[in-house]
Structure 1
Amino acid sequence: MPADEMAASTYRPLLFSIAYGMTGTVGDAEDLVQDAFLGLTKARQAGTEIADQKAYLATAVTRLGIDHLRSARVRRETYVGDWLPEPVVAPAGEPGPAEHAELADSLSMAFLVLLESLSPVERAVFMLREVFGYDYQDVARITGKTEVNCRQIFARARQRVAAGGQAHDSAPPPARRARGEELARRFFDAAAGGDMDALLGMLSPDVVFHGDGGGKVQALGRPATDPQRVARLLVAGLRRVAKLGVSYRPAWVNGRPGAVMYDAEGRVASVVGLEIADGVIQAIHSVANPDKLGHLGPVSDVGLLPER
């Protein structure tokens, strides 16, 4: 591989994280990154002088992401039930998320869901500035807007995100990661064992439970609130799937504690991520839509609803 291509490939984790933050889907993010590299190759073959490969690729991925979101809006509006992003998963105990997304731990499930309220350009500006730390001059160059316009867009987007009740929070430091893993372990053990008292002691009074089945797997039609109801849903759900041979393994989901559910044949049945703050669980995100799990391995057919 030529030296310049090797240098460009080192930007792949950053580019994936930008693309994933724009789309919320792993497969689409990988496609956008591939398209950006293809564009770079074609530009070189055409004799275009590219002084800054990183800037070129980041710009290409962001603009491709904006175009993708504009075409995806109709599909999102007709989505069955609660929409959640595809999870990025790493085994528990590892220092970071999946190899191809070393920066995606800055993009929690809750944060990505809130980004859905933004327009494609607002999302790009907000994410580049808030998550990846680009200055306004670079944000303007990448998005093709003026600096003044980018400042206005960012302020508007930040206000909308703040109204959703979620500030951006980067990946937790090692000590907090360890505490989070321990709380997650106790949480899943209590849910699997039907220990309501233990569960209620770990849930915030304002806890929210989101479930994404995509109309293909039984899931909540809308987010559930109230600790008592959430605890009952968790216990009933885990009891039901346990009878089908489903078990869980601790994992990191978008840089937050969680678990992957596997059926008796070792196929992925669902992914559950936890948002933890002040020592209690603030939100639970469960992704069971099989279309969103294929990048993690063979997908289970446990719980699939009959086709209409």
Structure 2
Amino acid sequence: MPEPTDLGDAAGYRPLLFSIAYGMTGSVGDAEDIVQDAFLGLTRAHQVGTEIAAPKAYLTTSVTRLGINHLRSARVRRETYVGEWLPEPVVVSADRPGPAEHAELADSLSMAFLVLLEALSPVERAVFMLREVFGYDYPDVARTTGKSEANCRQIFARARKRIAAAGPVADSAPAPARRAEGGELARTFFEAAAGGEMDALLGMLAPGVVFHGDGGGKARAIGKSVTEPLRVVQLFVGGLRRLRSLGAALRPVWINGRPGALIVDAEGRVASVVELDVVDGMVRAIHSVSNPDKLGHIGPVSDIARLPEARLRETR
């Protein structure tokens, strides 16, 4: 006879569940809602006397399938999104540690990797992420997604090809040495940017560097990704100079397991988040999120990066 469901022990699965939900949606708020809904389902099952022998399997299955359903309903909104879409940043720092499930987010869920996952269908995304990021074996992937094991193998192979076609597959979680190197490079990079040291910045950029910006039509951001290194530097330094003239400052943080910075106004409110994707000692990509709708989970949001009301009406 199965053991009674232990809801207290089940709470320990929240970091894993949040990581799965966030990897599926790219949204902190939606991930939290999905995890909460999964626990509500477990509680209701417990209340009606349903014995659940494996709460972890029950919850991961619930979160994964809720994530699939969410993506299906969100696809139309993504298609009408103003400008380039980037995931909501998960920020971890000494003074802003956030909930435990955020702090323990898998490093492999970088912003670059989550953007690549956008090329997949909801089911492909679930299968690929469970197998590639969380190391589930095929029987568990099949049970979690409700597909056959043979089908999951086919879906994973197809998803891997689509990811490879979309861009370089993200590195696995950084080793301590590479993490330290990334943190030091980020510190030097932001210091050079603050000082307008163009040549120093160019020396830190990989030849194929890409600058991505997400303002959601509500805050200042580049309209589409920029790839020419000099133009990347000019845009970044120019934008930072404008914000600093309004009293903004940089605060080093870790974003989705990568080095970055919060840009905060004179009152400490968040205006933007910048993540650096560092590979082999060079900055391969810069992701900047200034859409105020994607910053509220970090703290109070500044209005210094917002577009004027007239521009807001034009983008609707």
Offset of 1:306 from its aligned partner?
2.1
- Partner SS, residue 106 of structure 1: coil
Equivalence for 2:100? 99
Residue 207 (1) aligns with residue 237 (2): no
Residue 196 of structure 2 aligns with an amino acid whose one-letter code is G
Equivalence for 1:258? 260
- Partner SS, residue 276 of structure 2: strand
Equivalent residue pairs, number? 306
Q: CA contact under 8 A between 2:5 and 2:55: conserved in structure 1?
A: no
Offset of 1:180 from its aligned partner?
0.6
Residue 278 of structure 2 aligns with an amino acid whose one-letter code is I
User: Which ranges in structure 1 are unaligned for 5 or more consecutive residues?
Assistant: none
Residue 248 of structure 1 aligns with an amino acid whose one-letter code is L
Offset of 1:163 from its aligned partner?
1.2
Residues 44-193 of structure 1: pairs in structure 2 closer than 5 A: 44-91=46-93, 99-101=100-102, 102-193=104-195
Aligned-residue Cα RMSD (Å) equals 1.6
Go from structure 1 to structure 2 and tell me whether the alpha carbon gap of 1:155 and 1:74 turns closer, same or farther (over 3 Å shift): same
Q: CA contact under 8 A between 1:92 and 1:252: conserved in structure 2?
A: no
Offset of 1:104 from its aligned partner?
3.2
Offset of 1:171 from its aligned partner?
2.0
Equivalence for 1:7? 9
Give the alignment's TM-score, normalised by structure 2: 0.94
Residue 20 of structure 2 aligns with an amino acid whose one-letter code is I
Equivalence for 2:297? 295
Q: Tell me how far apart the structure 2 counterparts of residues 260 and 99 of structure 1 sit (CA, whole Å).
A: 20
Q: CA contact under 8 A between 2:83 and 2:214: conserved in structure 1?
A: yes
Q: CA contact under 8 A between 2:5 and 2:46: conserved in structure 1?
A: no
Residue 261 of structure 1 aligns with an amino acid whose one-letter code is I
Q: CA contact under 8 A between 1:15 and 1:61: conserved in structure 2?
A: yes
User: Which ranges in structure 2 are unaligned for 5 or more consecutive residues?
Assistant: none
Residue 99 of structure 1 aligns with an amino acid whose one-letter code is A
Q: CA contact under 8 A between 2:247 and 2:265: conserved in structure 1?
A: yes
Offset of 1:46 from its aligned partner?
2.0
- Partner SS, residue 49 of structure 1: coil
- Partner SS, residue 233 of structure 1: helix
Q: Tell me how far apart the structure 2 counterparts of residues 229 and 89 of structure 1 sit (CA, whole Å).
A: 27
Q: CA contact under 8 A between 1:97 and 1:104: conserved in structure 2?
A: no
Q: Deviations over 1:175-205 (max 9, x none)?
A: 1111111100111111111100000000011
Over the matched positions of the two proteins, sequence identity in percent amounts to: 74
Q: Tell me how far apart the structure 1 counterparts of residues 101 and 136 of structure 2 sit (CA, whole Å).
A: 21
Equivalence for 2:274? 272
Q: Tell me how far apart the structure 1 counterparts of residues 299 and 74 of structure 2 sit (CA, whole Å).
A: 25
Q: CA contact under 8 A between 2:21 and 2:35: conserved in structure 1?
A: yes
Runs of at least 4 residues off by over 4 Å? none
Equivalence for 1:17? 19
Q: CA contact under 8 A between 2:214 and 2:289: conserved in structure 1?
A: yes
- Partner SS, residue 104 of structure 1: coil
Q: Deviations over 1:3-25 (max 9, x none)?
A: 91210000000000000000000
Q: Deviations over 1:54-80 (max 9, x none)?
A: 000000000000000000000000000
